[in-house]
Each structure stands twice: as structure tokens, then as C-alpha cells.
Structure 1
């Protein structure tokens, strides 16, 4: 039986992914720091396994993983690192503690989960890790500097582990959507200019569908939406100075 463990599962992309994989008959495990919303989703799906978790706490991560994987013979088919936070604004106007918190959740939390899942993934045929990347990991996005930096880190880790863990039969890839209409983005007090120019044209269900496609057909990077696919492949063949000019125009205040 296929199983998936999802961080950041209480809302947005994580919740949409949980619903989709559950519909396809997978055994779903839900992790999030928002226990109330998590419990509500778990009940909606038929009281599936769930646990309140702060992904930045490595000891708690190990306990949650052991509990979930014990129900599945010590195996884990798929880890989906979906937990993440964002704060838009001028870099200097955002408290340093908030910049650090973005890195702690988006990068350190992902490291904690991925490192702790290794023995369970290694014990499982066709095991995979799907990381929540972003279009912001392609070129640094003004007014999202720390978030963009975190997604560059996710991209680098994904590429490295995809090569390093191949000998263990573990595939590692990331999803790279542009801006997605989720509570994380919709509740921002600062409207980044790039959002107005590119628009927010994706819902979390579209990203969940990409996660489902990734589970069946692995890619190291999976850009999402025609708009970003064109930007992604354009960025692979154009000089860096041109990409920089495009980003400067998109982010102009």
C-alpha cells in the first residue's frame, strides 16, 4: 500500500495534496503546527493519521516519523515537504527575526524532515521525496528576498540529493509553481509589484495535481503552469543579464 507523509498539511497546497492522494487510495499522514485545522482535515478524510508538529524541532520530527512509519512496516513511499512561510516587503522593513524564521521553517525544517526519513525511504521500493520549490528559486525576487533565498536552498538540496540518493533507489524532486492562491500569500499585508504584473493564477489543487504527476513520473524540477514553464525554459537559454532585466521590470515599484 502506498503511503505519503505531508508537512504543512493543514491548509493550502498541503491540504489539497492530502485530499487528492487520499482519493487515489493512498495512506495519508498529516503534519502541521496548526493542530485545530489539522484535526479538522483528518476528520474530513476519515480520521487519518495526523500529528501536531513543528518541523524545526528535530527530536519531535523523529518521534512523528517513527509513529507514522510504524503503522506501515517501517516504510515510507513518499515524503512531501510542503511546510513553508512567506513574508513580502522591503528587506529592511522586515524584522531580522522574521527573516531567520523563514529560513528555519523553509530550509531547516525541510532538512530535519528529509534527514530523519532516510532510513524509512531506503527501506521502501520506489521511494520519493517531493520538495516544495518555487518560481522564486529561479532568480531572486525583490520584496521576497528571504523566501527566494530559501527556495534557492531547496533547489540546491533537491539537485544534490537526487544524485546522491540514486544509489539507494530514492528519487528527489521539487515542484516549482509561480504564485499560488493560498492563505500564506493572500494574507500578506505588502503587495509585491511582481504579483500584480504576473498575477496569481494558480490554486492549490493545481499544485496537488503536479505532486500526483510527480509521484507517478519523476522529474528533478517540475515547473507548473504554462506561464512559468515558458519563463523557466527561457531562463535556461538566455544570458543572466537578460533574466535580471526582466525581473527588474516585473518588480518595479
Structure 2
């Protein structure tokens, strides 16, 4: 049986992904800081393995990986890095500690999980990492400055590891959606102009389906949604100033 470990599993995209893969026969492991929601989801999925975890805690991440993979003969078919937080608003109006915490979770958390998972991925046929990216990694987004920066980092790590780990048979890729209707997005007090222009058109279940496709493909970047797919592909072939112009228009109130 294929197995996968999901961070940020208790709600939103992580929970939708866990439900989908479980329904299709995978053994899923669940990680999240929200212990109550995590326990409820694990029960819903028939007693799925789960552990409360702050992905910033490198030692705890290593322990969780060892515990989960020990139940599968030391193997890990898929790591899904879904843990992340969002804070919208003018950069200078957000406390520095909040920026730092966002970067810790969104970047250091991915580093911790990838590093701890590597030994188990390396010995597993068709092993794969899927990182949760974002449309904000296409060009820096006003009012999402630190979030955008964190997703640029995730994109860079994805591309580097895809090349570095290829020789070990490990595929690495990311999902790149625009705004998704999740508790994280709904909880934002401020909606940046780009969010208002593009709208919040995707549901968590659509991202889960994209994760399923990615788990059976050799693609590095997977933009999600027709609207953003066109923007992403355009951004790969147009000069940087065109992308800047487009982002400036999308961010204008």
C-alpha cells in the first residue's frame, strides 16, 4: 500500500488531500499543530496515524517521520508539505515577529520535513515530494510580501531538489494555485487588491485533485485553475517587466 505524510493536515487543503488519498486506498499520516481537529480527522479516516506537530521544531519533525515510516518498513512514497500560514496587509503594518513566524513555518517547516524525510524517500520506489506553492511565487505580491517571499523560497527549493534528488529516484514538484477558499484565506481581515481582482475561485478539493495528479506525474510545477494556468504559462515566456506590469495592474485598487 502506498503511504503519504501530510503536514498542515487538520483543515483546508491538507484535510481535503488526506480524505481523497485515503478514499483511494493510500495509508495517510497526519501532522498539524491543531490537536483537536487532527484527532477528529484521524477518527474520520478510520484511525489514521497522526501526531500533533509544529513543523518548525526540527527534532520533533525527525521523531514523527521515524515513527510514521517505521510502520511502513522504513519507506515513504509521498511527502506532502501543506503546512503554512498567511498574513495579509501592508508590510510595515505587520509586526516583525509575525513576518518571522510566517517565514519559519512556510520555509523552515518545509526544509525540516524534506531533510527528515530524505532517508525514507531514498529507499522507496517512485518516491515523491509535493510542496504547497502559490501563485504569489510568480511575481512579488503587494500586501502579501513575506508570504510571497516564502513561496519564492519554496519554489526555489522545489526546483533545486528536483534536480539534486533525481539521481536517487525521488521526484519533487509543487502545486501553484491562486487563492483557495480555505479557513486560512477566509480568516484574513484585509483582502489585498489582487485577491479582489482574481477572486477566490478554487476549493480545497480541487487542490487535492491536483495533488493526486501530481502524485502520478513527473511534472515540476503544476499551476491549478484555468485562469492562473494561463497567467503562469505567460509568465514563463514574457520579459520580467511584463510580469511586473501585470502584477501592478492586478494590485491596483
Q: Considering the TM-score relative to the shorter chain, is it more than 0.5?
A: yes
Name the residue aligned to 2:40: 40
Q: Could you say what secondary structure the match of 2:131 adopts?
A: strand
Residue 160 (structure 1) shift: 0.4
Q: Could you say what secondary structure the match of 2:103 adopts?
A: helix
Name the residue aligned to 1:86: 86
Q: Could you say what secondary structure the match of 2:178 adopts?
A: coil
1:4 aligns with 2:4: yes
Residue 246 (structure 1) shift: 1.1
What is the distance in 2 between the residues matched to 1:238 and 1:115? 34
Q: Could you say what secondary structure the match of 1:218 adopts?
A: coil
What is the distance in 2 between the residues matched to 1:187 and 1:160? 33
Name the residue aligned to 2:171: 171
1:188 aligns with 2:188: yes
After superposition, where does 1:24-103 map in structure 2 within 5 Å? Answer: 24-103=24-103
Residue 174 (structure 1) shift: 0.3
What is the distance in 2 between the residues matched to 1:128 and 1:240? 31
Report the TM-score when normalising by structure 1: 0.99
Q: Could you say what secondary structure the match of 1:178 adopts?
A: coil
* Regions of 4+ moved over 3 Å: none
What is the distance in 2 between the residues matched to 1:222 and 1:136? 14
- What CA deviation, in whole Å up to 9, does each residue of 1:222-247 have, x standing for no partner? 00000011001111121111111111
Q: Would you say how many aligned residue pairs link Structure 1 and Structure 2?
A: 253
What is the distance in 2 between the residues matched to 1:155 and 1:236? 14
Q: Could you say what secondary structure the match of 2:181 adopts?
A: coil
Q: Could you say what secondary structure the match of 1:190 adopts?
A: coil
After superposition, where does 1:204-223 map in structure 2 within 5 Å? Answer: 204-223=204-223
Residue 191 (structure 1) shift: 1.2
Name the residue aligned to 2:134: 134
What is the distance in 2 between the residues matched to 1:59 and 1:108? 13
Name the residue aligned to 2:23: 23
What is the distance in 1 between the residues matched to 2:187 and 2:134? 18
- What CA deviation, in whole Å up to 9, does each residue of 1:187-243 have, x standing for no partner? 101111111101000000000000000011121000000001100111112111111
Name the residue aligned to 1:246: 246
What is the distance in 2 between the residues matched to 1:235 and 1:79? 28
